[in-house]
Structure 1
């Protein structure tokens, strides 16, 4: 009976470690500097976004809510040209985000 409890305890601890590691990795992947390649197109919507912009925009999409909560980054995601860049790249910028 003690062995079964030990195994269950070990599995639970490993599960918590995996979840914590996943959360840290997900947070580490949010890097707004990767979106610098999109700035010319955001500032001037007549400039089509380069492929690197679209690639990075898609990779950073899970971070958009985090960026929208930061006034330094929000201004870029809500700029008039940002919607056009996002549409061109096939990405959507959320209008509502859950509380972090």
Structure 2
């Protein structure tokens, strides 16, 4: 009986934790993933205008941009002249790192 009650409390605690994660927005918590910027690929690699999704993802990933600029594999994409144009069109200032 004690084992069932303990298991029930653990289940309730786990469910509460999951609901808090889903329902309570995290302040500035962003998972930095350059793959989140994939909607911007065509705008960065060509001169096509950025989509609304691209701008939304770019704004979401703003806290990560300096890290991307420091990464030698990503620097050429996020620091390119086309990337600056995309940033300007999305009304997102390029961060000073």
User: Which interval holds the TM-score relative to the shorter structure?
Assistant: 0.5 to 0.7
Unaligned runs of 5+ in 1: 1-21
Deviation beyond 6 Å, 4+ runs, structure 1: none
Shift of 1:65: 0.8
Measure, in 2, the Cα distance between the counterparts of 1:83 and 1:93.
7
Unaligned runs of 5+ in 2: 1-25
TM-score (normalised: structure 2): 0.66
Deviation string, structure 1 residues 5-61 (Cα, Å, up to 9, x no partner) = xxxxxxxxxxxxxxxxx8xx84x611110101111111112x111111000000000
For 2:69, the equivalent position in structure 1 comes to 68
Task: Give me the CA root mean square deviation.
Answer: 1.7
Are 1:38 and 1:50, in contact at CA under 8 Å, matched by a contact in 2? yes
The number of residue pairs the alignment matches comes to: 71
**1:55 partner SS:** helix
